[in-house]
Structure formats: structure tokens, C-alpha cells
Structure 1
Amino acid sequence: MDNIIITGTEGFVGTLLTHFIQQKYPASRLSLRDRDWCRHLPQKGKAIIHLAGKAHDTSNTSSPEDYFKVNRDLTIALFDQFLKSEIHDFFYFSSVKAVADTVESQLIEDVIGVPITPYGQSKLQAEQYLQAQPLPAGKRLFIIRPCMIHGPGNKGNLNLLYQIVKKGLPWPLASFHNQRSFLGIDNLNYLIEKILSNLNVPSGIYNFADDDPLSTNELVTIIAHSLHKTPRLVHVSPRLIQSIVRIGDYIPLPLNSERLKKLTESYVVSNDKVKKALGIDRLPVTAREGLHKTIASFNSISSSVFL
């Protein structure tokens, strides 16, 4: 009965979370790419952790229908099977982008969702369906909204920053002042395990984020120091940068308007609700410690190429 069923185990989050869970519980992988996945879904177990989904495509090449088929429709189908089963808990990994593409001050769970992208809209519609269904006695539903997750094997904007600093290139966006929340994989694993093991945590929506936000300039500095380099922070007019990156919206360049927004906007996420539910004051790994660990894994991968 303690079996944990996990979807989306091939991504970097799924790989690391599955490895962590397997050290504490029997765990099985469920591929929703298999048309017969319903037949392979166990009818008894402790929890389903639903990670599978279509990630936000910053190159804007995916069709809106792709997001809704995967993020909404597959989630609904899986949840309906969960309701019929004897599995106790359902964890749906949504996203902070399900409710807010931008944040003015600090994002909390009870904000009214107004996503503007198909990615965020598909995640929110899945959330709304799950919340609208009556939960049978003994079952719990956790809608997890993580901010930007990082850890060994992470790709994307963090890796882009790493490559820029590693090559000794200047960081030209230092004039953009922001504060941004991150989520290290160690803290994500910790929170999931704590919820699984604490039957007093009520169903609900929970933001997942490290305790302290960091600026992108601080992040560049952390990467530079991990590479034993001096950070090269260059202050270019934000208006000039915004004019240049618009070219990347039409031709494939490393930087476009969407990526500029991700790298320079402020996006602070509160994790107070989940900490209160678990009765903890601080997460075990600070934002800086987690990022140092992730960057160290990039260094290791780079070094192994030459072995």
C-alpha cells in the first residue's frame, strides 16, 4: 500500500525525484505516452505524483492545442482513474505560471489566476477540474505550484547563464534589477517527502520555492565564483536591450523577448503556506547552497567531456 506511482520520470525533475522517492518507498513509473497506460496503473498505493506535462516553450513554436492535450486532458484522465482507485494521495505538479505570468510583489496561493499563455491556461484549467471533483474519504489532493526548479541535469535559462559566464562573456543585462524565487531539487524532494509522511497536511494548493529570492546579477556572480572567475556585469540601457531582443522574436537567436523577461523580471513566490502546514520555519537548503550545488554539477559535466 506504500507504493508511489510517478509520471514524467524521464525529465530532469522526474529522474531526481524518482531516485529520491525510491530510497524511501516502493515506487513505480507510469508512462502516459503508452496508450494503454490505464491498464498499467496500480489500483492500490500511497500516492500518484503526476509530473508529466508539456513544458513552456520559450521559442514559441508549439501549438496551443499541444499544451491542452497534455497538461489538461491527460491530467483529467489520470485524476479520474485516481478517484476510482484505492490510492490515497494525488500530487499534481502545476506551475506558478498557472496563475500569474508576472508578479507585482509576492505570489501567494489564493491569487485569482489570469494566465496569458497556453501553457499557464492549460495548467490552470487542469487545476480547476481537479478542485471541482468531490474527494472520497481518505483521499488527498495536492496541487503543487513550483517556481523555476533547478538541479543536476537542469537545462534552459540557468544553463544559458552558465555558458555565458563560462566563456568569459560579459553579462549585458546588469541594468535590470530584479528579485526572483528559485526552487532547488533538494528542497522539492524534502517537501514532497514531508507531505507524504504527514497525514495531517490538508489537501490544497501549495507554492514550492526556496526561502530567499535572488537577483539575476547575484546568480551571475554565484556562477562566476564557482568557475573561479570575476563576474563581468555590464550595464547597458534596458531600452536598447529591449529593442535588440525583438529581432529574436522573428529569427532564431539566443535571446528573445520571452527569454529576456524570464532572465530579468521580478518573480517572488511565497512558500509560507506549505511551511506552516508542515510546522517548519526554514527549508533545509538555502537558495545559494542549492544553486552552488547545481552549478557544481554543470562544472562536473563540462570536465567529464575532456576525460
Structure 2
Amino acid sequence: MKLIITGSSGFVGQNLKAFFTEKGRETIDLSLRDPNWGSKITVDADAILHLAGKAHDVSNTSVEQEYFQINRDLTIELFDKFLVSNIRDFFFFSSVKAVADTVDNVLDEELIAKPLTAYGRSKREAEEYILNQTLPEGKRLFIIRPCMIHGPGNKGNLNLLYNVVKKNIPWPLAAFQNKRSFLSIDNLNYLIHSIINRDELCSNIYNFADDDEVSTNELVHLISETLNKKVKLWAISPSFIKIIARFGDFLPIPLNSERLKKLTESYVVSNSKIKKDLGIKNLPYSSKEGLIKTLRSFG
């Protein structure tokens, strides 16, 4: 089996490459920056894993049109070439943010998409295009909507939180009560591998998330345990914290409104659909197991 991977130099791409190489699968890197990338779509491959894209910029400095040029237009161009190729499967790595920027209860695949950010709208417009195309017989399309992905080597808000605890700085956002879904890179690898190997599966849209959600305060506890440090939580008034975050929207301080939202909002994602279709009860790693593995890699 041969797999074409776009965005193979990124965190998810590197992990998928290593995972499938261990499984004895050949992977082919496809850089969409290469003006001749279209020629690689003619190779004898079984699936395209389209990971390349412009990630959500929490610093809010990106030009909006860049999201649409990269996340939408390049996806459309790649998918059109897939349609006339001999490749069976196309995996488009979209995002839960293509559906909703905030979640009141639990996000599942039935929720009507109403993305607000340029990132979410660009992913959603790419989804809409490829879903409206007619798939030739024998081909399959899978739209994957992962939530926040983590794993050894991944830098992001988890790393920011880790460094706060490591420096013995009390966590000042303990007054915010939330629940968030995460996705271990090991669970992501497992799910992609399982879908590819299930010939009976039909085209579909799937949310990817770990089985259980975690609060930010619980994360602070996990990090403290990993570092063998005493848990330090400060329950500062949320209204005061939000004022500080607004200053961060204009000044170079660690906290801004977007980062505050990511650290404190509730965002619970259901993975029931993919588990039902694969006939599994639980994913290989629990949220706690996956997060501990990630946190230990930061040391």
C-alpha cells in the first residue's frame, strides 16, 4: 500500500509517516509548494492524506485571504486531480472549527456548520466543494474533523501551560470551569489506519477526539504530577482576567482574548460515530494516558 501525504513535514504528517512506515506502508511526500506537484498524483498509490493547510493563528496576525488560498483553493485543486486519478481514498483533514467556534453542549457530526473565523470558514468551504462533487465508482472520501491534537514534540497551548507550572507560577485561571476534548496523535494514527483497512466503510465525515474530556484545572494537576510539583491554583476573577486579555490583543503579553478562549472555554467533541462504524468500544489511549505521554516529552 502506498500513501501520498501532503503536509508531511508538520507534526501530524511526521507522525503518520512514522506510523505507516512501521506498518510496512510506503509513504510519498507531496509538497503543494512544488509547482510540479500534480505529476505525483499519477503514481500508483492507494490513498491521499491531505494534511497541508494554514493553521489557526491565535496571535490574529494572518491575512484572511491566506486561509482561503491555502485551505480551500489548494484542497479543491488537489481533489479535482484525485477524481481523475486511480487512487481510491481521499482523506481531507478539516477541523471541528469548520463547524463551530464555540460549543454549548457536545459537538457531533449532525450539527449545522456555522464557522465564524477565516480558518473555520476556509475549511468549511473546502468541505462543501468536495462534498458536492460526484465520486467515481470505487472511490471513497473521508472528511476528518479533529479537535486539539497533542503528542510528543507538539508545541502549543499545552506547552505554554506546562511551562507555567514548571516555573512554579500559580495557574491564575482556576476560576474558569470548563471541559475540553483532546486528541492523542496515537489515537489519530490508529483511526486513520483502521479506516484505510476497512474496505467495507463508505465515504463519510468523522469527528476525531479522545474518549473522555478534560478540564484545564485537571490538566494543571496532571502537569504538576508529571513534574512532581505541588498543584498551585489561583481563582482570580474571570472578569478581571478578561480585561487583561483584551490588553493582550494589542500589546505583546502572553495572554490575549483568543488564547484565553482556548485555555478556558468548554469544547466537547463526540467520537461516537467513528467508533460505531469501526465497531470499537474504546480508543487505544485514554485522554489521561495520551496527555501524560505528551507532557513527559516536554521535560
Conserved in 1, the CA contact under 8 Å of 2:244 and 2:255? no
Deviates more, 1:172-181 or 1:40-49: 40-49
Report the equivalent of 2:9.
10
Local SS of the residue matching 2:297: helix
Please state how far the C-alpha of 1:38 moved relative to its aligned partner.
0.5
Please state how far the C-alpha of 1:101 moved relative to its aligned partner.
0.1
Q: How does 1:218-257 map to 2 (within 5 A)?
A: 218-257=218-257
Please state how far the C-alpha of 1:92 moved relative to its aligned partner.
0.3
Report the equivalent of 1:109.
109
Looking at structure 2, the residues matched to 254 and 41 of structure 1 have their Cα atoms a distance apart, in angstroms, of 43
Q: Which amino acid aligns with 1:87?
A: I
Deviates more, 1:37-46 or 1:72-81: 37-46
Looking at structure 1, the residues matched to 104 and 116 of structure 2 have their Cα atoms a distance apart, in angstroms, of 16
TM-score for both structures, normalised by structure 2: 0.98
Local SS of the residue matching 1:276: helix
Conserved in 1, the CA contact under 8 Å of 2:209 and 2:269? yes
Local SS of the residue matching 1:45: coil
Looking at structure 2, the residues matched to 66 and 227 of structure 1 have their Cα atoms a distance apart, in angstroms, of 39
Total equivalences in the alignment: 298
Looking at structure 2, the residues matched to 223 and 14 of structure 1 have their Cα atoms a distance apart, in angstroms, of 26
Please state how far the C-alpha of 1:253 moved relative to its aligned partner.
1.3
Local SS of the residue matching 2:211: coil
Please state how far the C-alpha of 1:276 moved relative to its aligned partner.
0.5
Report the equivalent of 2:52.
52
Report the equivalent of 1:174.
174
Conserved in 2, the CA contact under 8 Å of 1:44 and 1:85? no
Report the equivalent of 2:289.
289
Q: How does 1:1-307 map to 2 (within 5 A)?
A: 2-24=1-23, 25-299=25-299
Please state how far the C-alpha of 1:244 moved relative to its aligned partner.
1.1
Gap runs ≥5 in structure 2: none
Please state how far the C-alpha of 1:18 moved relative to its aligned partner.
1.0
Q: Which amino acid aligns with 2:18?
A: H
% identical aligned pairs: 61
Gap runs ≥5 in structure 1: 300-307
Please state how far the C-alpha of 1:41 moved relative to its aligned partner.
2.6
Please state how far the C-alpha of 1:173 moved relative to its aligned partner.
0.2
Looking at structure 2, the residues matched to 129 and 105 of structure 1 have their Cα atoms a distance apart, in angstroms, of 28
Question: Which runs of structure 1 show a deviation greater than 6 angstroms over 4 or more consecutive aligned residues?
Answer: none
TM-score for both structures, normalised by structure 1: 0.96
